[in-house]
Amino acid sequence: MWELSERDLPALSIGASLLGTGGGGNPYLGSLRVRELLRAGHRVRVMEPEALSDDDLLAVAGGMGSPVVSFEKIVQGEEEANAVRALEVLAARSVTAIAPFEMGGGNSMAALCVGAQLDVPVVNGDGMGRAFPELQMITYLIYGGRPFPSAIADEKGNHLVFQDGVDAQWLERIARAVTIEMGGHSGLATSLMNGAHCKASIIPGTLGLAYDIGRTVLAARTDKSDPVDAILDATGGRRVLRGKVVDVERTMTKGFARGRIALEGSGDDEGRQVQVDFQNENLVVWEEGAAVATVPDLVTLVTTDRGEPITTEVVRYGYRADVLVLPCPAKLRTERALEVVGPRAFGFDLDYQPAFS
Amino acid sequence: MRIGIDVGGTNTDAVLLGQAGVLAKAKTSTTEDVTSGIVTALTDVLEQSGAAAADVTAVMIGTTHFTNAVVQRRDLASVAAIRLGLPATECLPPAVDWPDDLREASGVRPYLVRGGLEFDGREIAPLDLDELDRIAGELRAHDIHSAAITSVFSPIDARMERAAAVHLVERVPSLDITLSHEIGRVGLLERENAAILNASLRDLARRTIAGFLEAVRGLELGAAVYLTQNDGTLMTAEHVERFPVLTFSSGPTNSMRGAGYLSGLSDALVADIGGTTTDVGALTQGFPREASLAVEVGGVRTNFRMPDVLSVALGGGTVVHLDDDARIGPDSVGFRLQQRARVFGGDVLTATDVIAAAGKTNLGDRRLVSDLDARLVADLERRMQEIVDEALDRVRLSTEPLPVIVVGGGRLLVTRAVRGASRMVVPEHSEVANAIGAAIAQVSGQIDRVVSLANTTREAAIAEARADAESQAVKAGADPSTVQLLDAEDVPLAYLPGNASRVHVKVVGDLAAGHRI
């Protein structure tokens, strides 16, 4: 059992940002929330999935909605925990652990807050291993978990329970509409499951991975060694290109920021050009008309000098960046998962191109 | 004629600008009372030029005085930080992310109140007037004179901030109030932080402005007195007393605008090479390009509009470490160049010495560095140049070649054209570029708001914002016939429903002749 301390938060933030693949929202406010909970005497305990017993009861908890809203109308603090509590009332049972929703970006911190507030451990793992935009894209649901009952809570005291429904896509649509009505951001609890299902469907170890990535980057910055090499060592990833951003095209469609980043190689990569297509998260890397990496593998841009993740919101001409591709977890590579999170699910007429054999 | 003054941490510079250009310039040490140094610099330029006090129509002052107060944790007043947003925002109260020493130095008292708005203008909760009454009682009891009021989504609609201000002032008439929507943009903690910093500087601002006015009036200058703000435009002295934080980055801004004036260029890259650092930025239409992200001041995250300036550790006094693989900096002898550098008889090898050894400057005694290996010198010179090239490339927005203006005491470090420069300009008088930037400052009006495009068009929203910006500029002293559009943009907000867009319009105009406050 790993008991988190305040000192672990900067590393966790960097790692979560990196796993956010250009999207996922900024973990800064979330890490402040965890810090305040720790300072108030709460504990954040992290357990390994293997330590779950088959009849443990877990809920998946996180935040849903607009990142812009979450930076302005900061949460009251118990929205996610209240959503879990609503499910507990319905199940007439308390959860014994929390399964994180999404390790990429801001939601990395939400599960830790819930664990602290309900005083139950958080499992080392999550449902994506990165960031994705929609609810049905979590492995707990892809691999047979139940989207119902689910619960949503806001800061005012509105707690909705979705008792039953058709499927995860329906849950996503209705939950998003309710979230907008609540003011653009809500706490969500879903995929109530037993320990057996969690062990079978969770992507294991991702909290620890986020922490390790951040720790090696911070160490490399202090030692003045290459932070990008540190990231690649920690993740088994590889560099596609080291160079400079020379163009960013952006369009808005249906509330999603889509676009294409163009980079020119420098040094050993001089003369090469790559493009990265994104839709909040980075999705496909192209070179000379061929896709060299695609979702669900993790495509991420970091600054060459400090290994700082570059989100699609801020990227612009002039950034000295390394384009990295990290292997996606095995559970995202199955035929079943690819239907939900492969390139076609994002509108590309393209099959998944594994970047690693 | 106008006088531009730059009150820096070390030096106070003044310049007298007329139709013909720079008529006189002066540099003196900044004094602790601020006033004396300004009087010295003003007297100096008037004497040099022989100009009469009556011929000076305006005095523009740029200063880092308020930034320095925050950075050095001094002269900050106790502040009530009042946030309207409960039940939301409770888990992260005001100043939660401040460094401890600053929170203590500025005596921040956080208050959370029911109120605030949703992204679409609905109330999160009705404004809690009873709680405001209770707060008013505490402020009176603890003698707190300054409050910052921050309401959720106030950049969209400021009605709650205004209502709370009215209610508090009725109960505590002596209270200085800073409203967050007048200071920063969407992003609660960053905007609130900026408002709290502003509130903590108001007493200092009053005293400082009084000092500036005393200096000017003492010389019988009947000129209108202005200060320059972050974007290089003017604020009246009264406006600065209410919004001292708006002066925070006027130093780098004025330096870049001054460089533009001296070179006659309005679109260029600027490198200001000092003793320790080189600051680079991009001038577009005569103004520095703004940074888009949160900017930290004194360790506090804020979201002012500040110029996008990249600072790298290379200046005239940067130390070259021959014993460490010829490492260049980041340390520097700074303003002790003339004591420590080898060409002046010192024992430290600096960037200036390298350029002297290369025969590219007459500064100092070149013989004192004649022992350096010629190839080493050439290599160091090349590497220093590359640092400047690389820094300038990072502030570009495209590959298009642009002129490069080099200013600052360390400008001798640039010995060949910068990579990607269409031409190089090293203007005269660049050591007073900051004061010049202040002297040429114009008046602006600026609107930054979030609108829903559900009931209007993009064009109508921008046109309305432009009209509001223009009337703001005229109210601030602009001659209406000179007002021009500097920038208009709308940025769709991702994920936010209701087709919301952030609209930003900025106009500038020349100060109306004979404008008096």
Are residues A276 and A261 in contact, defined by beta-carbon separation less than 8 angstroms? yes
Beta strand pairing call for A45-47 and A122-123: parallel
Per-window interface: B 78-107 vs A, CB < 8 A:
85-92, 96-97
- What are the chain B neighbours of A65 within 8 Å (beta carbons)? 495
A10 touches chain B (CB under 8 A): no
CA of residue A231 relative to chain centroid, distance: 17
Are residues B200 and B77 in contact, defined by beta-carbon separation less than 8 angstroms? yes
Q: At what angle do helices A28-39 and A107-118 cross, to 10 degrees?
A: 20
The closest of B383, B376, B377, B388 to B417, measured between CA atoms, is B388
> Cβ–Cβ of B85/A36 closer than 8 Å?
no
B401 preceded by cis ω (within 30°)?
no
Give residue B517's pLDDT. 40
- Alpha-carbon distance of A199 to A201, in angstroms, equals 6
Per-residue pLDDT of chain B (517 residues; tens, 9 = 90+): 899 999 877 788 999 998 888 999 998 888 887 888 899 999 999 999 988 888 898 999 998 889 888 888 889 999 999 999 999 999 999 999 999 888 888 899 999 999 999 988 899 999 999 999 999 999 999 999 999 999 999 988 899 999 999 999 999 999 999 999 998 888 999 999 999 999 999 999 999 999 888 888 888 877 888 999 888 889 888 889 999 998 888 888 898 999 999 999 999 999 988 888 888 999 988 888 887 667 888 889 998 777 888 888 899 999 999 999 899 988 888 778 888 999 999 999 999 999 999 999 988 999 999 999 999 999 999 999 999 999 998 888 777 899 999 988 788 899 899 998 999 999 999 888 889 999 999 898 888 887 877 788 888 988 999 999 999 899 888 899 999 988 887 776 655 566 778 888 989 998 886 654 4
- What are the chain A neighbours of B92 within 8 Å (beta carbons)? 29, 32-33, 36, 74, 77
- Alpha-carbon distance of A62 to A75, in angstroms, equals 12
Radius of gyration of chain B (CA): 25
> Cβ–Cβ of A255/B494 closer than 8 Å?
yes
| Three-state secondary-structure class, residue A74 | coil
Burial pattern A125-140, b for ≥16 Cβ within 10 A else e, equals: bbbbbbbbebbbbbbb
A159 touches chain B (CB under 8 A): no
Amino acid residing at A125: G
> Residue B156 contacts by C-beta under 8 Å, 6 or more apart in sequence?
B117, B119, B121, B186, B449, B450
Reported in sequence order, the residue ranges of B42-200 that DSSP labels E, i.e. its strands, are 58-63, 79-86, 108-114, 146-151, 176-179
Phi (first) and psi of residue A72, to 5 degrees: -105, -55
Phi (first) and psi of residue B278, to 5 degrees: -115, 125
A120-146 confidence digits (pLDDT tens): 999 999 999 999 988 899 999 999 999
A75 touches chain B (CB under 8 A): yes
Per-window interface: B 337-356 vs A, CB < 8 A:
none
Are residues A191 and A181 in contact, defined by beta-carbon separation less than 8 angstroms? no
Give residue A351's pLDDT. 95
- Alpha-carbon distance of A218 to A220, in angstroms, equals 5
Q: Which member of B85, B86, B497 has the closest CB to residue A180?
A: B497
Q: Best mutation site among B86, B90, B91 for testing chain A: the one with the most A CBs within 10 Å?
A: B91
Q: At what angle do helices B159-171 and B129-141 cross, to 10 degrees?
A: 50
A316-342 confidence digits (pLDDT tens): 888 899 999 999 999 999 999 999 999
Are residues B269 and B397 in contact, defined by beta-carbon separation less than 8 angstroms? no
Give residue A183's pLDDT. 94
State the burial class of residue B467 (Cβ atoms within 10 Å of its Cβ: 0-12, 13-18, 19+): middle
> Cβ–Cβ of A255/B495 closer than 8 Å?
yes
Query: By CA distance, what is B292's nearest residue in A?
Result: A314
Are residues B266 and B283 in contact, defined by beta-carbon separation less than 8 angstroms? yes
B188 touches chain A (CB under 8 A): yes
B400 touches chain A (CB under 8 A): no
Amino acid residing at B127: L
Phi-psi region of A119 (alpha: psi -120 to 50; beta: other; left: phi over 0): left
- Rounded to the nearest 10 degrees, how much is the dihedral formed by the CA atoms of B303, B304, B307, B310? -30
- Alpha-carbon distance of B45 to B3, in angstroms, equals 9
Task: State ipTM.
Answer: 0.92
> Cβ–Cβ of A280/B494 closer than 8 Å?
yes
- What are the chain B neighbours of A67 within 8 Å (beta carbons)? 494-495
> Cβ–Cβ of B495/A67 closer than 8 Å?
yes
Q: Which two tokens stand for residue A248?
A: 């960013």
Per DSSP, the residues of A25-40 read: --SHHHHHHHHHHHHT
Mean predicted lDDT score pLDDT of chain A? 94
Residue B192: half-sphere exposure toward Cβ, Cα within 13 Å: 30
- What are the chain B neighbours of A257 within 8 Å (beta carbons)? 494
Considering all CA atoms of chain B, what is the largest pairwise distance in Å, rounded to the nearest integer? 78
- Alpha-carbon distance of B203 to B198, in angstroms, equals 10
- What count of other Cβ atoms lies within 10 Å of the Cβ of residue A347? 12
- What are the chain A neighbours of B300 within 8 Å (beta carbons)? none
Give residue B440's pLDDT. 92
A184 touches chain B (CB under 8 A): yes
| Three-state secondary-structure class, residue B136 | helix
A67 touches chain B (CB under 8 A): yes
**Shortest CA gap B321–chain A (Å):** 17
A150-202 confidence digits (pLDDT tens): 999 999 999 999 999 999 999 999 999 999 999 999 999 999 999 999 999 99
Q: Best mutation site among B150, B289, B495 for testing chain A: the one with the most A CBs within 10 Å?
A: B495
Are residues A141 and A168 in contact, defined by beta-carbon separation less than 8 angstroms? yes
- Alpha-carbon distance of A107 to A12, in angstroms, equals 12
Beta strand pairing call for A256-265 and A273-279: antiparallel
Burial pattern B41-51, b for ≥16 Cβ within 10 A else e, equals: bbbbbbeebeb
Place of tokens 């609810």: A135
Q: At what angle do helices A28-39 and A9-19 cross, to 10 degrees?
A: 150
The closest of B249, B266, B248 to B257, measured between CA atoms, is B266
A248-264 confidence digits (pLDDT tens): 988 766 656 689 999 99
- Alpha-carbon distance of A13 to A198, in angstroms, equals 25
> Cβ–Cβ of A184/B497 closer than 8 Å?
yes
A246 touches chain B (CB under 8 A): yes
Q: Give how far Cα B373 sits from Cα of A148, B270, B357, Å.
A: 77, 32, 9
Q: Which two tokens stand for residue B203?
A: 């007493």
> Residue B273 contacts by C-beta under 8 Å, 6 or more apart in sequence?
B314, B315, B316, B388, B406, B407, B408, B409, B410, B411, B413, B414
The closest of A124, A167, A161 to A144, measured between CA atoms, is A167
The closest of B450, B456, B462, B451 to B489, measured between CA atoms, is B462
Query: By CA distance, what is B496's nearest residue in A?
Result: A66
Query: By CA distance, what is A69's nearest residue in B?
Result: B119
Q: Give how far Cα B54 sits from Cα of B36, B51, B219, B221, B235, Å.
A: 21, 8, 10, 6, 22
Quote the DSSP letter at residue A149.
S
Q: Best mutation site among A74, A256, A303, A311 for testing chain B: the one with the most B CBs within 10 Å?
A: A74
| Three-state secondary-structure class, residue B76 | coil
Interface A-B: count of C-beta contacts within 8 A: 109
Phi-psi region of B380 (alpha: psi -120 to 50; beta: other; left: phi over 0): alpha
The closest of B453, B439, B459 to B505, measured between CA atoms, is B459
B418 touches chain A (CB under 8 A): no
Are residues B501 and B453 in contact, defined by beta-carbon separation less than 8 angstroms? yes
N-to-C CA span, chain A: 33
Q: Which two tokens stand for residue B253?
A: 């801004």
Burial pattern B428-451, b for ≥16 Cβ within 10 A else e, equals: ebbebbbbbbbbbbbbbbbbbbbb
Q: At what angle do helices A107-118 and A9-19 cross, to 10 degrees?
A: 130
Give residue B452's pLDDT. 79
Q: Give how far Cα B121 sits from Cα of A187, B124, B152, B297, B498, Å.
A: 21, 9, 10, 31, 11
Query: By CA distance, what is B95's nearest residue in A?
Result: A32
> Cβ–Cβ of B97/A32 closer than 8 Å?
yes
Quote the DSSP letter at residue B186.
S
> Cβ–Cβ of A73/B188 closer than 8 Å?
yes
Radius of gyration of chain A (CA): 19
